[in-house]
Amino acid sequence: MTSSFPTQQADLQYLTEGGQETEIMYKFGFELREFALFPLLDHPPAVVELRGPMTAEEAEDYHSTQIATLATAEVDLVETMTFNNVPEAVGVARAATRAGLAAAILFTLDSNHRLHSGPTLKEAIEAVDAECGSDRPVFYGINCSHPLEFLPAIEPGDWFERVRCLRPNAAMMDKISLCTLGHLESGDPVDLGERMGAIAEQYPHLDIWGGCCGTWETHLEEIARNVRAR
């Protein structure tokens, strides 16, 4: 039996963490190999194969071991973040269902307001839902994108009701640059909070909030305050 995650409830909002990796690296001075907060392999294989995007079948196989491990730990939800293509999202959703877990897929958008692999957010969500059928994710989200990147991607339609979670970057800057600046680019926390509050007012079904690159408790406080006020 697949686990479930609570559906939206009136006046109940969830606050997640901010950009842990950029904060730990640039605020506290720790090095994170390959930007990984928790490396899964201390001694990776000597030979690493580099290739193009995974197929859905390859992604299901690749992610299944970690998802099965999370299932044994009795987690409530598998949330995958910063995805930028449809096949990998499909594979994760299928692997999660096979392990009896609910899955949430968070896509990231670039300055063209699309996934790096090409589709719009609407096209990606509708494609994953169509390919997964009953194995579809329980909800979607957007992360590692500033509101100025993802707001133009929000098209009218029932498809956006499938999006529950927003975790923006602190600044409107190329994602790779944000991770390699050598310092924490925190943007304008007050402005970010106000933007997120306005989004909450316009789309009241959104109920999971947080941050990504460059965000920390100051941004979360501003987001929470503005969302609650709206």
Helix (H), strand (E), coil (C) string for 97-108: HHCCCEEEEEEC
pLDDT of residue 42: 65
pLDDT of residue 1: 54
What are the per-10-residue average pLDDT scores of the chain (230 residues)? 78 88 74 70 57 88 94 94 96 97 96 94 98 96 94 94 96 71 80 97 96 92 95
C-alpha distance across the termini of the chain, in Å:
37
pLDDT of residue 48: 47
Model confidence pLDDT, tens digit, residues 48-65: 475 678 899 999 999 999
CB under 8 Å to 52, separation ≥6 — which residues? none
Model confidence pLDDT, tens digit, residues 88-102: 999 999 999 999 999
pTM of the full structure: 0.88
Q: How far is CA 183 from CA 8, 36, 178, 180, 218, in A?
A: 37, 17, 9, 8, 17
The DSSP line for the chain is: -----PPP-TT--EE----HHHHHHHTS----GGG-SS-S-SS--S-----SPPPHHHHHHHHHHHHHHHHHTT-SEEEEEEE--HHHHHHHHHHHHHTT-EEEEEE---TTSS-TTS--HHHHHHHHHHHHGGG--SEEEEESS-HHHHGGG--SSGGGGGEEEEE--SSSS-HHHHHHSSS-----HHHHHHHHHHHHHH-TT--EE---TT--HHHHHHHHHHHHH-
pLDDT of residue 49: 74
Instruction: Report residue 183 as tokens.
Output: 């310092």
